[in-house]
Amino acid sequence: METKIWFVDKQMNLSTSYEQVQQAAILLQQNEVVAFPTETVYGLGGNATSNIAVERIYEAKGRPSDNPLIVHIADKSQLHLLVEDIPAYAEKLMDAFWPGPLTLVLPVIQGTVSTKVTAGLSTIAVRIPEHPVALAIIKETSLPIAAPSANLSGKPSPTKADHVWKDLNGKIAGIVDGGETGVGLESTVVDCSEGIPVILRPGGITKEQLEEVVGIVKIDPALTKREEVPKSPGMKYTHYAPKAPLWLVDGSNEYLQSLVNKQQQKGKRVGVLTTDESFEQYKANVVLSCGTRSDLSTIANKLYSILREFDDSDVDIIFSEIFPLEGVGEAVMNRLEKAAGYQRVKE
C-alpha cells in the first residue's frame, strides 16, 4: 500500500491545510487508517464504529487485540452518544482539562463503537485532544476516531511524522505531518467507572493537577507493584523499548560512568541517557541529553525521540539516569521503567 503524506500547518492557519485535512478525513470515512499529530504523540486514527477500520489499526501496529484503544472526539456532544453514568467528578475533570492530554474511562453504551475498540470491556477510554490538526480531522469525519500511538507495538511512541514513517510506511493509508508533537508522552488515563478517580496510566496531566480539581485521586497499585494485574490492559506489556537493553541507574554519575567503563572493557558500544546538567561529565560511545532536570517536561518532551536515536546509533547497551517521581516525573519514570523492562542497578 502506498502511504500518502500531507504536510499541514500546526495551527491550521494555511488554507491548504484544510484541503489536506479533508483528504485525510475522507480516507478515515472509508475505514482506512491515517496517522495524525496530537498534543501528546502521533495517533493512528481509524473509524471507531467500524470493525474493519479498527482491525486495520491493530494489524498495522501489531498490537495485541486485548489492549483497548482510546477514542478521540472533537466535542462533548459526541461524548453522550458513547457513554453513560458520568459521575460528577468526571464532569469536573472534563471541564478542567478538555481539550487536553487526559483520557477518561467511562461505562460504554453497548453497540455504539466496535467491540474491538474496547476489547470487549464494559468501559470505553475517551478524550478530546487539544491539537488543532487532530481536532480538525475528527470534526471533518463526524466520527469517533480510535487512535492509539502511531508506532509499531512495543516501540517508543512517535513524536515526529518521520518516526511514524519509519514504523508504518506501506502499512497505512496516510500520514498527516504537522511537525513535532507537544507533551511528548501519552495522555493520563483515569478510570471514572467507580466512586473515586483512579490513574491507570500516568501522563501529561499530573496527579497533583487532578487533585486540585477533584480532591483525592488514587493510583492503580499495579503501576508501582509489579505483581498486581493492571486495570488498564495495555500497562502489562513491555513498551517503548529501544533495540539495545536499557538499564536504569540509581546512583551517582561516577557510578554510572564505572558501569560504562566495565562494558567498554568488554568491547561493547555503550550509550548514556542523561540530562543537560551532567552531559559533559560522561565518556561513552553515545551520550544523549533528554533535557533539563530543572523542568521535567523537557525530559517528557524528548524521551521517545532520544530512545529512537539510540536505535539509530547501534549501541549494544544503554545506561540511563533516573528522575524524581514528582509531577510529570511520574509519567517519565513509568515509561523509562517499561522501556528498561524494569532492569535497574543500584549503587
User: Segment near ligand AMP (CB under 6 A), from 11-19, 45-53, 123-131, 246-254?
Assistant: 123-131
Question: Closest separation between CB of residue 19 and ligand AMP, Å?
Answer: 28
Using CA atoms, how far residue 194 sits from 105, 262, 311, in Å, is 10, 50, 41
- Which CB, 68 or 158, lies closer to ligand AMP? 68
Contact of residue 29 among ligand AMP, Mg ion, none (CB under 5-8 Å per partner type): none
The one segment of 69-77, 94-102, 143-151, 271-279 that binds Mg ion by CB under 5 A: 143-151
Per-residue string for binding with ligand AMP, 214-253, x by CB under 6 A?
-----------------xxxxx------------------
Q: Which is nearer to ligand AMP, 67 or 292 (CB)?
A: 67
Residue 49 interacts with ligand AMP (CB under 6 A): yes or no: no
The only residue of 123, 264, 285, 313 in contact with ligand AMP, by rule CB under 6 A: 123
Residue 184, φ and ψ in degrees, nearest 5: 95, -20
Distance CA 119, CA 11 (A): 34
Give the interface segment with ligand AMP, choosing from 7-15, 25-33, 122-130, 258-266 (CB under 6 A): 122-130
Q: Is 115 in the site for ligand AMP (CB under 6 A)?
A: no
Residue 149 within binding range of Mg ion, rule CB under 5 A: yes
Neighbouring residues of 19: CB distance < 8 A, sequence distance ≥ 6: none
Candidate residues 136, 189, 217, 339; the one interacting with ligand AMP per rule CB under 6 A: 189
Angle, nearest 10°, between helix axes 296-312 and 161-168?
40
Q: How big is the site for ligand AMP, counted in residues (CB under 6 A)?
A: 21
